[in-house]
Each structure stands twice: as structure tokens, then as C-alpha cells.
Amino acid sequence: MENNAESTEKKESRSDNGSGALNDMTLLFPAKAENESFARVVVSAFLVRRNPTLEEVGDVKTAVSEAVTNAIVHGYRGASGDVTLYACVADDLFIVEVRDNGVGIADVEKAMKPFYTDKPDEERSGMGFTVMQTFMDEVSVESEVGVGTRVTMKKRLKYANGI
């Protein structure tokens, strides 16, 4: 995984060709639990202009909440750092990405297994990735130990007739 979050953001935002069909946003915020709800509100506000169903908004909020919580709890383990939330929508395809520059995941396949958690004592259920997979059409994880983690999630929207 490339750890150059800034150049990546730049590229992504520049990918906008001004056609009006594509819109995107990048949000950076500190890894604090109080920002989980903020991240959900921002992604909803971004999505809502594309005329999503209530269910789609709920699905996206939940998936983003899981990924952001993971960045805070597992990626940074309570230490300070930034979480990046990138979202983009083009026609009916909505893509959202959550990145951290935290500890990374040694075995992604194992981490994504239902009920797997490295924090059972804190009552983590190990269902975060499973929730993401249930509520989104596609979830992919790139991670490197000591560098960070990037979770990319895609969803096709039923009605793409927003602005």
C-alpha cells in the first residue's frame, strides 16, 4: 500500500473532469471516537444529493461507521492520527474509502473472517468486516503492517437521478 495519502487525495480530486456526472470529497479528521458520528453525517450528506433510498443511506452509514471505528480502535489503538474518508459518485456507482496510517493488518484474510477480533475483552464482536460486506456490494482491503490500512467499498445505487 502506498502511504502517500496527500498525493493520492490530490489525484482523486483532480480526476473530476468537470462533466457534472462525477463528484467526490475527501475528509480528514483525528482518530477520536466522537468523530464516528460526524463521519456518518458527512457521508450521508454527500450521498443524499444522488437521491438514494433510505435503506441505501442506512447501509452506507453503517459500513462507514465500521471502517472508521476500526481505523480508530485497531489502526491507531487510541493513539492520535488522522482518518481519511474519501467518497465519490459517478452515475449509479458510489465508492467510499476509509484510510488510516496505523499499525496495519498482517493477515487480511483472517481479519475479515466473521467473529475474528483481536479485542474480545473490549466486547468487540468481530463482525465489523461482515457488516461492511453485508451492507455494501463490494469490500476490498489493502493493508501493510506499520504503514496503514485502506478499506474500499462500492455500492450500486438504485436511482442515480440526483444532481
Partner 1 sequence: MLDNVRQKDTLIVSISGELDHYAAPKIRAELDEVLQDKSIRKLCLDLKAMSFMDSSGIGVLMGRYKLLNRRGGEIYVKNMNSHVRRIFDMSGLRQIVGVQE
Contact with partner 1 (CB under 8 A) among 55, 91, 92, 138 = 55
| Dihedral class, residue 77 (left if φ above 0, else alpha if ψ from -120 to 50, else beta) | left
**Cβ neighbours around 75 below 10 Å, total:** 25
Work out what residue 122 binds among ligand ADP, partner 1, its own copies, none; the CB cut-off runs from 5 to 8 Å by kind.
Answer: partner 1
CB of 76 to ligand ADP, least distance (A): 8
The residue whose grid cell reads 443524499 is 48
Residue type, 21: A
Work out what residue 75 binds among ligand ADP, its own copies, partner 1, none; the CB cut-off runs from 5 to 8 Å by kind.
Answer: ligand ADP
Q: How far apart are CA 92 and CA 50, in angstroms?
A: 9
- Please report whether residue 100 would count as binding ligand ADP according to CB under 6 A: yes
Q: 8 or 62, CB closer to partner 1?
A: 62
Binding range to partner 1, per CB under 8 A, among 1-9, 22-30, 80-88, 131-139: 131-139
CB of 55 to ligand ADP, least distance (A): 22
C-alpha separations of 7 from 2, 10, 151, 152 in Å: 10, 5, 18, 17
The catalytic residue positions are 66, 70, 124
